[in-house]
Structure 1
Amino acid sequence: MAKITAAQVKELRDKTGVGMMDAKKALVAVDGDMDKAIDFLREKGIAKAAKKSDRIAAEGLANVAVAGNFAAIVEVNAETDFVAQNDQFKELVKHVAELIVANKPADVEAALAMPTQGGTLNDEIIEATQVIGEKITFRRFELVEKTDSQNFGAYLHMGGKIAALVVTEGADEATAKDVAMHVAAINPKYVNRDQVPAEEVEHEKAVLTEEAKNEGKPENIIEKMVEGRLNKFFAEITLDAQAFVKDPDQTVAKYVASKNGSVISFIRYEVGEGIEKKEDNFVEEVMSQVRG
């Protein structure tokens, strides 16, 4: 019997998308012949997931799992929204988030190699691809750690089309969740103006200054005009300065302060962002639900 090397197993997995044990069994069965191993897997129906590897998976769901002082936000993609609403797919995404927060892998590659009851997480995703019949991809995740005095707030829009994870200092979980809802709806870029890169501020300032000059404003009031417009710029892109979506008469910072807290950080995942796909007006949908 031919000796099967780890390199052969990896090559077969890369070519077929099957799990490690299936790849090894196939190679053993055909004495290490790569072409015969591929045929073997195809005949068993195990390699059909590989046929889907060139498809675009831009739909799917995001989810958040919390365990003590750690939280994970994840995105898992499928090819169609129909499959994204499949109960098995929903459970898979939830399962992925729970595995991430429990095992705290360094990156997606490490996450896919995590041992599970089904072999590895990658094996489970391949199996789900075969059962569900669409390409499924674990795209990304972020792990967040908080202190005992801080709170996590998580919000899922439409079951996970948009997911937001917020950390507040003080306040409570309900407040943090309200802020996560705001983040999902309004999509701020930064928590506060201190986080806005200096070059971005300088660029905006230069544009606003030229704009004021082109309006024919006198030099002595241009600086005040630019300062006022910069404040508006910060109010548009920073979470703290935005009008709170559930009470536009106060900013997010003032709302959280009224609950004896402050916002530390946020992460917002919108499924498929950056992947070529049809446009959906998620912001409008979220806001209509928030205000309803």
Structure 2
Amino acid sequence: MPSPITTELVKELRDTTGISVMQCKRALEEAEGDIKKALAILKKISSDIALKKGNREVKDGAVMIKTTGKKSVLVSLHCETDFVSRNEDFTSLLSSLTDIALLKGIEKMKEGARDIINPIIQKTGENIELGDIYEVEGDILGNYVHNNKSGVIVSLAGGNVELAKDVAMHITAMQPENIPELLDQPFIKNPDQTIGKLLGSFDAKIKEVKRYSI
């Protein structure tokens, strides 16, 4: 016997999926009040919508970096417009993907990414695609993100986290092509000192740099 479609049931499905009340109600009606079946229906709808939008070009997006212990990850997520890139649902999606990549690994995140991206495609009406993803490990890590559009992770041998952050900020602003060019550039906070001399004053060296810009 079908379960009654109560306001509480619709709200539960809405809270779980973030999809509109009307869509949740229709899914529950089709599923005869079975919330598990309704979730499966909404998942298929989201997948179908994502498939239709899959060929649309994603020119905008955002970058996020998170760090725990001796590991940092940079995740980029692309969408069609700047408006959606600043949308709360899009930002929350990017944060969730970054958390998964940081705690469970990039490959694990990629495996389940589509299931959490598709509902946001359905909500925003735009195509959304994962961009580049990087992981950096090291004892001294610093990062900098500018306007959610450009991000840099720097790993140092020697020095400290603040120094690594300063170098990451400099790279974001000055966009050196390679490490030798970076070392010869005047430090953006103190043009009288090159990045190479700045690092030397801390007896530090660059181990690795990862960066991405939308």
What residue in structure 2 maps to residue 65 of structure 1? 66
8 Å CA contact 1:70–1:145 kept in 2: the answer is yes
- 1:136 paired with 2:128, answer yes
The one-letter code sitting in structure 2 at the alignment partner of 1:269 is Y
8 Å CA contact 1:244–1:250 kept in 2: the answer is yes
The one-letter code sitting in structure 1 at the alignment partner of 2:132 is R
The alignment covers a number of residue pairs equal to 174
Counterparts of 1:171-210 in structure 2 under 5 Å? 171-192=159-180
Instruction: Considering fraction of residues, name the structure with more strand.
Output: 2
What residue in structure 1 maps to residue 25 of structure 2? none
8 Å CA contact 1:240–1:263 kept in 2: the answer is no
CA distance in 2, matches of 1:154, 1:62: 12
Q: How much has 1:111 moved relative to structure 2?
A: 3.3
- 1:249 paired with 2:196, answer no
Q: Secondary structure at the match of 1:239?
A: helix
Q: How much has 1:68 moved relative to structure 2?
A: 1.2
Q: How much has 1:164 moved relative to structure 2?
A: 0.7
Q: How much has 1:71 moved relative to structure 2?
A: 1.0
Equivalent in 114, 119, 128 of residue 127 of structure 1: 119
8 Å CA contact 1:69–1:145 kept in 2: the answer is yes
What residue in structure 1 maps to residue 17 of structure 2? none
Q: How much has 1:260 moved relative to structure 2?
A: 3.6
CA distance in 2, matches of 1:51, 1:191: 42
Measured against aligned partners, the alpha-carbon deviations of 1:213-264 in whole angstroms (never above 9, x if no partner) come to xxxxxxxxxxxxxxxxxxxxxxxxx211111111111110111222342222
CA distance in 2, matches of 1:256, 1:92: 36
8 Å CA contact 2:106–2:133 kept in 1: the answer is no
What residue in structure 2 maps to residue 268 of structure 1? 211
The one-letter code sitting in structure 1 at the alignment partner of 2:84 is V
Q: Which has the larger radius of gyration?
A: 1
Q: Secondary structure at the match of 2:106?
A: coil
Q: How much has 1:101 moved relative to structure 2?
A: 1.6
8 Å CA contact 2:153–2:209 kept in 1: the answer is yes
The one-letter code sitting in structure 2 at the alignment partner of 1:132 is T
Q: Secondary structure at the match of 2:92?
A: helix
8 Å CA contact 1:253–1:263 kept in 2: the answer is no
8 Å CA contact 1:187–1:268 kept in 2: the answer is no
Counterparts of 1:1-292 in structure 2 under 5 Å? 45-46=45-46, 47-106=48-107, 111-113=109-111, 120-146=112-138, 150-158=139-147, 160-192=148-180, 238-271=181-214
CA distance in 1, matches of 2:49, 2:65: 30
Shifted more, 176-185 versus 85-94: the winner is 85-94
Q: How much has 1:157 moved relative to structure 2?
A: 0.3
Structure 2: which 5+ residue stretches go unaligned? 1-30, 32-40
